[in-house]
Structure 1
Amino acid sequence: MTEIPELDPVIHAQARLRVVSALSALRADDRITFPRLQELLKMTAGNLSVHLRKLEDAGYVEVTKTHQGRTPATLVRLTLRGRLAFDDYTAAVRALLDGGTAKEQT
């Protein structure tokens, strides 16, 4: 019997998967503003904040609070650890869909 790959529970929640997926589309050092990410994902500020905190606690995203002129700004980016975790997650999902293991796919 083939081994069923584990899915990262931090990423697997639907809202966090959407966040990580959106951030993975950015270049490695690019950041997106919180309001723009909120708009793209059509999430409330509170809901997005909760999921970003969980991802930040896991080291998958970096949230930077700064100012643009006199206006406060919150910038978000996917960390290298987050990119690697997302790559592992997508490989595990592919393996599940193909009926094999993640290790067999690489």
Structure 2
Amino acid sequence: MAFLSGAGSADFTQLREKTGVTDGNLSANLRKLEEAGYVAIEKRFRDRRPQTICHLTDSGRVAWLSYLDRMQRMLFGGAAD
């Protein structure tokens, strides 16, 4: 979520490299985020090779910003300026 909030979209390989998780772990987490409506998954071919692109949805962005706001309030005692 953090990486996609800045990038907007990324392919599976980029996300795996940025997060440092295994393919299986990333797939499972992306599936959960997709089910929640936070990311959209696009599968396509590039140079005859399969490519998975992940996009942060509008509701995903709202959820991410809400999470950051809650964390900031928790850490700084309600000062979410």
Helix, strand or coil for the counterpart of 1:43? Answer: coil
Q: Give % identity.
A: 40
Unaligned ranges ≥5, structure 1? 1-19
The CA distance in 2 between the partners of 1:99 and 1:40, in whole Å, is: 31
The CA distance in 2 between the partners of 1:40 and 1:53, in whole Å, is: 18
Runs of 4+ residues over 3 Å off in structure 1: none
Helix, strand or coil for the counterpart of 1:25? Answer: helix
Question: TM-score by structure 1 length?
Answer: 0.71
The CA distance in 1 between the partners of 2:57 and 2:65, in whole Å, is: 12
Report which of the two has the higher share of strand. Answer: 2
The CA distance in 1 between the partners of 2:53 and 2:80, in whole Å, is: 35
Count residues in correspondence: 81
Give the counterpart letter for 2:53 in structure 1.
L
- Max Rg structure: 1
Unaligned ranges ≥5, structure 2? none
Deviations 1:15-73 (A, max 9, x none): xxxxx00111114xxx2110111011111000000000110000000111111121111
Higher relative contact order structure (alpha carbons within 8 Å, sequence separation ≥ 6): 1
